Amino acid sequence: MCLREHFQLLRYDCRGQGHSPKPEGVYSLDDHVNDLLQLIDQLNIDNVILVGLSNGARIAMEFSIRFENYVKALVAFDTYDEPTPMIQAKLNSWLRAHEIGGALHRFDIATPWIWGEEVFNTKSELILAYREKANSLLPRVVRSLIDGALQTNIDLSKLNVKTLLVVGREDLLTPIFIHEKMIKKIKNGQLMVVEGGHASVIERPSIMVKSVLPWLLENK
């Protein structure tokens, strides 16, 4: 991976996902931010550059506001600062689909909001791989994650670290206009529009190499 040539990398599973604990209750933004703080403190890490996608970007943005002294810079892909009525309607449709038809029905309803057209046309195996992963999530975990994503505004006027917002041109879940509003609130921010949908960097890993890495190296 190109980033390893320039940085020490740490990837972790947020609560409810992968090998991390899956407690009862809503997984709030506060919970996610505090989980990240505990992880960074336990590993004795500072001067970090946070990179997050979607809800992971929300965690990174809120962490950077609360614990600015830890953060050198921030890259936030395809995300939102406020769960507006439009975003709530989209996420609630996923939750309703989950309640009616389970994990795979929820995934199928959400899929057109997540992926760009090229993935549907040429990379259907990528969608199928994520569909299989979706079926492994516990039903209560899905509700905990979505309920948490429906809560909490992020006050971007308090974000002071160098920030790169990246949005896919075909992002239907958190469209470009949301990012255009967000960047106006950030003191030291830059907006980059790339090809792809809401999962732009997953669809096209070359985005990280060609577009984001130069920015990271400038702000290392």
**Residue 207 is part of a domain; what is its CATH number?**
3.40.50.1820
- Output the pLDDT for position 214: 94
Is residue 1 predicted with pLDDT exceeding 80?
no
Is residue 2 predicted with pLDDT exceeding 80?
no
Is residue 4 predicted with pLDDT exceeding 90?
no
pTM: 0.96
Q: What percent of the chain has pLDDT over 70?
A: 100
> CA-CA distance, 104 to 188, in Å (whole number)?
40
Picking from 78, 91, 19, 83, the residue whose alpha carbon sits closest to that of residue 199 is: 78
Range 99-124 average pLDDT: 95
Domain region containing 92: 2-218
Count of structural domains within the chain: 1
Is residue 179 predicted with pLDDT exceeding 80?
yes
DSSP assignment string, 73-107: EEEEES--SS--HHHHHHHHHHHHHHHHHHHHHHH
